[in-house]
């Protein structure tokens, strides 16, 4: 759903211009320094990018899902590290509070997240629990007006920058499954919370992940999300349903960028006396990429519109994440191929994108987890 047909295209235009004129020129610098220049982060704040998906009453733009994916199509057209900077504030870091938080939790944290004053991280994954998220072993034991957290979270995006963490921990040791898990908001600086060293990754330089370690970390009971124990896993799954659709849209944006670069290269690069774009084998790679990209774009928009009308889109979000991230990987591979040897050289953006987009098939649920979610939902519906 697009709320205002007149102003929304203006937002898209200004974001496209920001991406083209401000972010793309800094891609190499970010990759080399592993940092986003603070002036750019300031510009992101001023544009409201940290609050895109936070409700208007808390100072955000309150984008609908369709608006959000269309914005992500634009933001995806540059290094994913830029989007990642404000991605957790709009997505996995804040949505648990937006969906299930108490009015006090929303009032305390959302305005600061919307303005970008505070960065939020989502802490689910652990050394021993990745795809099998319900088996997590971080514990939270009630002690008076506090919970005492112990455990380690792994690969936590934006942990080094985060001011708050939404943390999934087991409050009921007798329930080893999803029902024993609760979600908490933990503020940086809480005694007992520390960070591991920043992970060295294959790509997405400028976006940081690290371990988050809880060692007898005392968290006020008021920070139990929604005030209810045992529903933290459901909160996490609902957050991921939305996040997966967003990532699918980012994949569409990234594929558009890569294909645009490859097309330009193919039209300029001459071999055998003519631009390589004239060769049918190159055309096949361009055409297959275009067709798949179009399919992914349509899927993402359809799933987003369905979500805006209140439908449960768990299946469609996983279908979109599965197809779009795999499509993005195939497009990246073909675009390297179209560039030939140049595609292996860091002077060309495609070399960096090829590594950057590999993450899309892994995080917020691997392709195999998306397959599992889709098939399970089908079987459940079939049995009903």
Residue 241 beta carbon to ligand COS: minimum distance, rounded to whole angstroms: 5
- Contact mark string toward ligand COS, 251..290, x via CB under 6 A: ----------------------------------------
CB distance 118 to 112 below 8 Å:
yes
- Contact mark string toward ligand COS, 34..73, x via CB under 6 A: ----------------------------------------
* Structure-token pair, residue 64: 């609908």
The reply to whether 134 sits near ligand COS by the rule CB under 6 A is yes
The reply to whether 183 sits near ligand COS by the rule CB under 6 A is no
* Structure-token pair, residue 262: 């490859």
How many Cβ atoms from other residues are within 10 Å of residue 217's Cβ? 24
Per CB under 6 A, which of residues 159..178 are in contact with ligand COS? 178
* Structure-token pair, residue 290: 């275009």
**Residues facing 224 on adjacent strands:** 184
364 is catalytic: yes
> Which of the residues 68, 74, 256, 364 is marked catalytic?
364
The reply to whether 319 sits near ligand COS by the rule CB under 6 A is no
The reply to whether 241 sits near ligand COS by the rule CB under 6 A is yes
Site for ligand COS (CB under 6 A): how many residues? 20
The reply to whether 369 sits near ligand COS by the rule CB under 6 A is yes
Residue 369 beta carbon to ligand COS: minimum distance, rounded to whole angstroms: 4
Residue 177 or 260: which CB sits closer to ligand COS?
177
Q: Cα–Cα distance between 221 and 9 in angstroms, integer?
A: 44
- Closest by alpha carbon to 149, among 138, 158, 165? 138
The reply to whether 364 sits near ligand COS by the rule CB under 6 A is yes
Rounded to the nearest 10°, the torsion over CA 180, 184, 188, 194 is: 0
**φ, ψ of residue 347 in degrees (nearest 5):** -65, -20
The piece of 74-82, 168-176, 279-287, 364-372 that touches ligand COS (CB under 6 A) is 364-372
The reply to whether 363 sits near ligand COS by the rule CB under 6 A is yes
Residue from 22, 238, 306, 330 binding ligand COS (CB under 6 A):
238
The SS3 assignment for 275 reads: strand
The reply to whether 125 sits near ligand COS by the rule CB under 6 A is yes
The reply to whether 229 sits near ligand COS by the rule CB under 6 A is no
Using a 10 angstrom Cβ sphere, with 0-12 exposed, 13-18 middle and 19 or more buried, the burial of residue 172 is middle
Q: Cα–Cα distance between 224 and 183 in angstroms, integer?
A: 6
> Looking at residue 54, what DSSP letter applies?
S
The piece of 38-46, 160-168, 195-203, 358-366 that touches ligand COS (CB under 6 A) is 358-366
Residue 317 or 335: which CB sits closer to ligand COS?
317
**φ, ψ of residue 202 in degrees (nearest 5):** -65, -40
Q: Cα–Cα distance between 366 and 349 in angstroms, integer?
A: 25
Residue whose entry in the numeric block shows the structure tokens 């795809």: 131
The piece of 34-42, 49-57, 159-167, 363-371 that touches ligand COS (CB under 6 A) is 363-371
* Structure-token pair, residue 74: 């634009």
Residue from 47, 113, 124, 169 binding ligand COS (CB under 6 A):
124
The reply to whether 234 sits near ligand COS by the rule CB under 6 A is yes
Q: Cα–Cα distance between 209 and 200 in angstroms, integer?
A: 9
Q: Cα–Cα distance between 248 and 346 in angstroms, integer?
A: 26
Residue from 49, 81, 133, 258 binding ligand COS (CB under 6 A):
133
Residue 149 or 181: which CB sits closer to ligand COS?
181
- Closest by alpha carbon to 244, among 369, 104, 58, 94? 369
Residue from 7, 14, 33, 131 binding ligand COS (CB under 6 A):
131
Residue ranges of the alpha helices (H) in the chain?
A: 8-18, 27-33, 38-47, 65-75, 80-90, 95-100, 103-115, 232-268, 280-308, 314-339, 349-356, 367-383
Residue 286 beta carbon to ligand COS: minimum distance, rounded to whole angstroms: 32
Residue 91 or 253: which CB sits closer to ligand COS?
91
- Closest by alpha carbon to 309, among 31, 21, 65, 18? 65
Site for ligand COS, rule CB under 6 A = 124-125, 131, 133-134, 178-179, 233-234, 237-238, 240-241, 314, 363-365, 369, 372-373
User: Which residues are known to be catalytic?
Assistant: 364
């Amino acid at each position: 759903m697009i709320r205002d047909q007149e102003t929304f295209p203006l937002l898209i235009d200004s974001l496209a211009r920001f991406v083209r004129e401000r972010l793309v020129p800094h891609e190499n610098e970010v990759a080399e320094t592993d940092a986003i220049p603070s002036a750019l982060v300031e510009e992101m704040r001023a544009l409201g990018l940290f609050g895109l998906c936070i409700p208007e009453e808390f100072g955000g733009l309150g984008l609908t899902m369709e608006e959000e994916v269309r914005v992500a199509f634009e933001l995806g057209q540059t290094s994913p590290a830029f989007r990642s900077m404000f991605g957790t504030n709009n997505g996995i870091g804040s949505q648990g509070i937006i969906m299930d938080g108490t009015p006090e939790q929303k009032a305390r944290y959302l305005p600061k997240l919307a303005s970008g004053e505070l960065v939020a991280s989502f802490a689910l994954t652990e050394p021993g629990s990745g795809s099998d998220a319900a088996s997590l072993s971080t514990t939270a034991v009630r002690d008076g007006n506090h919970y005492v957290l112990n455990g380690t979270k792994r690969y936590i995006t934006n942990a080094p920058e985060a001011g708050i963490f939404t943390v999934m921990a087991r409050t009921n040791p007798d329930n080893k499954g999803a029902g024993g898990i609760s979600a908490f908001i933990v503020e940086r600086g809480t005694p007992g919370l520390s960070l591991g060293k920043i992970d060295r990754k294959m790509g997405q330089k400028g976006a940081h992940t690290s371990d988050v370690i809880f060692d007898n970390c005392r968290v006020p009971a008021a920070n139990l999300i929604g005030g209810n124990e045992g529903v933290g896993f459901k909160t996490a799954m609902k957050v991921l349903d939305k996040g997966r659709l967003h990532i699918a849209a980012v994949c569409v944006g990234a594929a558009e960028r890569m294909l645009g670069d490859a097309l330009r290269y193919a039209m300029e690069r001459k071999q055998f006396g003519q631009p390589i774009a004239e060769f049918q084998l190159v055309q096949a790679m361009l055409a297959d990429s275009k067709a798949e990209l179009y399919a992914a774009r349509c899927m993402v928009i359809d799933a987003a519109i369905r979500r805006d009308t209140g439908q449960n889109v768990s299946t469609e979000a996983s279908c979109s994440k599965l197809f779009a991230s795999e499509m993005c990987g195939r497009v990246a591979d073909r675009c390297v191929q179209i560039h030939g040897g140049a595609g292996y050289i860091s002077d060309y953006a495609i070399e960096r994108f090829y590594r950057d987009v590999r993450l899309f098939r892994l995080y917020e649920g691997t392709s195999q987890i998306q397959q599992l979610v889709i098939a399970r939902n089908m079987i459940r519906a079939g049995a009903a």
